[in-house]
């Protein structure tokens, strides 16, 4: 059964009133009982004194053997006495010898009366009972009369309790009225005390309700009681701190909204159910909508773009950051770069994802132009370079009478033409990898990694032999990866070629393939000159050289590592390098066992010059 809350006043007031009334009733009852017992005891003492006095008189002046004399004496005392006390003389046989108010001859035997029985045993007896003679409640006190150490009679004094009962009724009546008066006073005092205790709490409750409504500038009055004063002070401090916190949160929220509104990039926060928690103006504008009509609705309701819907679902399922390009077809075709990161709460628990959308249409257009330009220029340059190289070789082979200076110049021309041809070949390879990656024309097949690595080692085995470099190979034959084997082979050849170039003679190179979780790691480690730490972030950029003079001397084009990076990214993997000067370098290709043609942004990214 549902219990409804009761005000504190009506919890305190009845309790106080009940306690006070109980105390009044208890004291009144105890006072009444005590007073009655005291009054009764006084009467008992008085009756005992009268009985003892009569016994002395009786014992001195009255003869025991003369019953008529005893009766006459009692009658005489009763006739001349103005007291309400009744005296009765009872012989040991129970026969009434005399009575001050009744004829003793007509009275029944009193031997069975309680007070008489006690007195017959030598003690003072008393009892309260209804008198069969006088027809009213009486108090009896009996004392023994001894003669020659024998009890021959009992003197009994008695008094009616009717008067006493009337007195006590009057006392009870007064006690009741005084009790009622005190009860009314107690009720008023209890209500005042209860109200005084509950009123500060009610005011605090009203203040707390104002705090809950946001009126944090309100302040509670400080009561006189120390405990309530401490509570009021604590609540005022709490309101002050809450006010400061809320103002700080509002300020931060306004700053965040200003930042999000000012951003050109779109920002969307999704919960785990794919509902939009928040979206800035730039993101809403990308889909020709207003932010207010998109919030708290699912992506399927608001954004009719299958690519973004699929990306969001994968990002929520994956839990890690993802990146890819999506295409919007509205008035014109627009390319958006989409990047997701996990959205965490204060307890570091994932509550959704944060998606950032960046319009990269112009950048992708420029990248396409750059790729086309490089490919076209490379093709155009390759033809005259081939002709020049052919003519130079013809002149060197067929002209025996060429002066030495001219022959030297022809050798220089031939060497530089070969270098240009190598650069053009690498540029064409890079353009082809980029083009196939963008067009998703890379054909994946489950291929043993060991076969690819053995082929790459065989290609460069003779070059390693020229420097007496030993190549240690380790890879299980059962290890396989979904890949286009010629491309991975080209990447391994490039890395192995660099390791041979920058290793000293009589050294060794390790080529290893191992399985780590859902990836296969292919590493090439050398004992060469190593690379400075500041060069590592730019090592895979096109034409970037750590030691330009040494690289040119060794015949490098500056495109080998860029080609490696794009091959690995086209397979949805990454390439890493660990190197220290004088301790050699280790290049690691991290390839997923099962690649996907829906590659993320890393597979579409192009190296910067």
Phi/psi of residue 205, nearest 5 degrees: -65, -45
Domain ranges of the chain: 11-166, 217-262, 263-359, 365-439, 445-604
How many alpha carbons lie under 13 Å from residue 291 in its C-beta half-sphere? 14
- Does domain 365-439 fall under CATH 3.40.50.1980? My reply is no
Distance CA 336, CA 338 (A): 6
> Are 11-166 and 263-359 the same fold in CATH?
yes
Exposed, middle or buried: residue 585 (CB in 10 Å: 0-12, 13-18, 19+)? buried
pLDDT digits (tens, 9 = 90+) for 543-570: 777 655 444 555 556 777 888 888 888 8
Phi/psi of residue 216, nearest 5 degrees: -80, -5
How many alpha carbons lie under 13 Å from residue 6 in its C-beta half-sphere? 8
Exposed, middle or buried: residue 475 (CB in 10 Å: 0-12, 13-18, 19+)? buried
Distance CA 231, CA 29 (A): 43
Check residue 112 and give its pLDDT: 85
Distance CA 319, CA 425 (A): 41
| Best CATH choice for the domain 263-359 from the list 3.60.20.10, 3.30.300.20, 3.30.450.20, 3.10.129.10 | 3.30.450.20
Phi/psi of residue 376, nearest 5 degrees: -65, -45
Phi/psi of residue 153, nearest 5 degrees: -160, 170
Structure tokens at 531: 């690379």
Of 577, 576, 566, nearest in space to 599 by CA:
566
Q: Please report the DSSP string for 130-175 in residue order.
A: E-TTTSSEEEEEEEEEEETTEEEEEEEEEEESHHHHHHHHHHHHHH
CATH number, span 11-166: 3.30.450.20
Q: Are 279 and 292 in contact (CB under 8 A)?
A: no
Check residue 513 and give its pLDDT: 92
Phi/psi of residue 90, nearest 5 degrees: -120, 125
Distance CA 408, CA 516 (A): 54
Handedness of CA 451, 452, 455, 460 (dihedral sign): negative
Distance CA 471, CA 461 (A): 8
Bridge-based pairing of strands 470-475 and 508-516 is: parallel
Query: How many CB atoms are located within 10 Å of the residue 2 CB?
Result: 3
For 287, the enclosing helix (H) or strand (E) is: none
What are the residue ranges in the chain where pLDDT is below 70?
A: 1-13, 16, 58-66, 80-83, 132-134, 194, 197, 225-227, 371, 374-375, 377-379, 398-401, 426, 430, 432-442, 546-557, 595-609
Distance CA 392, CA 462 (A): 28
pLDDT digits (tens, 9 = 90+) for 36-71: 788 888 888 888 888 888 877 766 655 555 677 777
Of 532, 538, 592, nearest in space to 562 by CA:
538
Bridge-based pairing of strands 266-271 and 350-359 is: antiparallel
Q: Are 470 and 503 in contact (CB under 8 A)?
A: no
Q: Please report the DSSP string for 469-517 in residue order.
A: -EEEEEE-TT-EEEE-HHHHHHHHHHHHHHHHHTSPTT-EEEEEEEEET
Check residue 62 and give its pLDDT: 54
Structure tokens at 439: 């067009």
Question: Which class does domain 445-604 fall in?
Answer: alpha beta
Chain centroid to CA 584:
50
- The reply to whether the predicted model has a pTM over 0.85 is no
Distance CA 244, CA 267 (A): 29
């Amino acid at each position: 059964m549902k219990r409804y809350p009761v005000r504190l006043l009506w919890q305190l007031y009845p309790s106080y009133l009940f306690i006070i009334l109980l105390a009044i009733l208890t004291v009144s009852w105890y006072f009444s009982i005590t007073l009655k017992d005291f009054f009764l005891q006084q009467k008992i003492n008085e009756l005992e004194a009268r009985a003892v006095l009569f016994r002395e008189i009786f014992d001195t002046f009255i003869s025991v053997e003369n019953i008529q004399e005893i009766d006459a004496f009692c009658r005489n005392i009763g006739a001349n006495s103005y007291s309400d006390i009744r005296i009765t003389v009872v012989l040991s046989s129970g026969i009434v010898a005399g009575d001050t108010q009744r004829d003793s001859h007509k009275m029944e035997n009193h031997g069975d009366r309680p007070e008489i029985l006690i007195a017959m045993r030598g003690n003072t007896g008393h009892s309260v009972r209804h008198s069969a003679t006088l027809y009213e409640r009486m108090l009896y006190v009996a004392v023994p009369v001894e003669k020659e150490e024998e009890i021959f009679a009992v003197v009994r004094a008695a008094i009616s309790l009717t008067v006493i009962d009337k007195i006590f009724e009057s006392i009870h009546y007064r006690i009741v009225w005084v009790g009622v008066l005190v009860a009314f006073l107690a009720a008023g005092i209890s209500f005042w005390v209860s109200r005084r205790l509950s009123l500060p709490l009610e005011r605090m409750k009203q203040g707390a309700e104002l705090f809950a409504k946001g009126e944090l500038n309100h302040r509670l009055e400080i009561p006189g009681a120390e405990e309530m004063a401490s509570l009021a002070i604590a609540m005022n401090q709490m309101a002050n701190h809450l006010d400061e916190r809320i103002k700080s949160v509002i300020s931060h929220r306004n700053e965040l909204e200003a930042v999000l509104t000012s951003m050109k990039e779109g920002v969307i926060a999704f919960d785990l159910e794919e509902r939009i928690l928040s979206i800035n103006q730039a993101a809403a504008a990308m889909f020709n909508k207003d932010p207010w009509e998109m919030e708290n609705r699912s992506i399927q309701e608001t954004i009719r773009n299958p690519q973004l819907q699929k990306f969001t679902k994968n990002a929520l399922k994956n839990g890690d950051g993802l990146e890819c390009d999506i295409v919007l077809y509205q008035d014109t075709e627009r390319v958006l770069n989409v990047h997701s990161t996990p959205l965490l709460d204060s307890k570091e628990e994932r509550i959704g994802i944060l998606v950032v959308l960046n319009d990269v249409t112009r950048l992708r257009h420029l990248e396409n132009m750059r790729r086309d330009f490089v490919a076209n220029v490379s093709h155009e340059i390759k033809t005259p370079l081939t002709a020049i190289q052919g003519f130079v070789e013809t002149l060197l082979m067929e002209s025996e009478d060429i002066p030495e200076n001219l022959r030297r110049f022809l050798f220089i021309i031939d060497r530089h033409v070969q270098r240009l041809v190598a650069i053009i070949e690498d540029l064409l390879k890079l353009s082809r990898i980029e083009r196939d990656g963008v067009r998703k024309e890379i054909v994946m097949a489950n291929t043993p990694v060991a076969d690819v690595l053995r082929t790459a080692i065989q290609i460069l085995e003779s070059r390693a032999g020229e420097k007496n470099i030993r190549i240690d190979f380790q890879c299980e034959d059962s290890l396989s990866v979904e890949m286009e084997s010629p491309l991975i082979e080209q990447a391994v050849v490039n890395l192995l070629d660099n390791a041979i170039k920058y290793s000293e003679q009589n050294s060794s190179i390790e080529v290893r393939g191992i399985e780590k979780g859902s990836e296969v790691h292919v590493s090439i480690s050398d004992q060469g000159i190593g690379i400075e730490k500041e060069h590592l972030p730019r090592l895979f950029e096109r034409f970037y050289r750590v030691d330009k003079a040494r690289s040119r001397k060794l015949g490098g084009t500056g495109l080998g590592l860029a080609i490696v990076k794009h091959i690995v990214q086209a397979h949805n993997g990454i390439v890493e390098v660990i190197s220290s000067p004088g301790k050699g370098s280790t290049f690691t290709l991290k390839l997923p066992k099962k690649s996907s043609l829906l590659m993320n942004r890393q597979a579409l990214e192009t190296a910067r010059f």
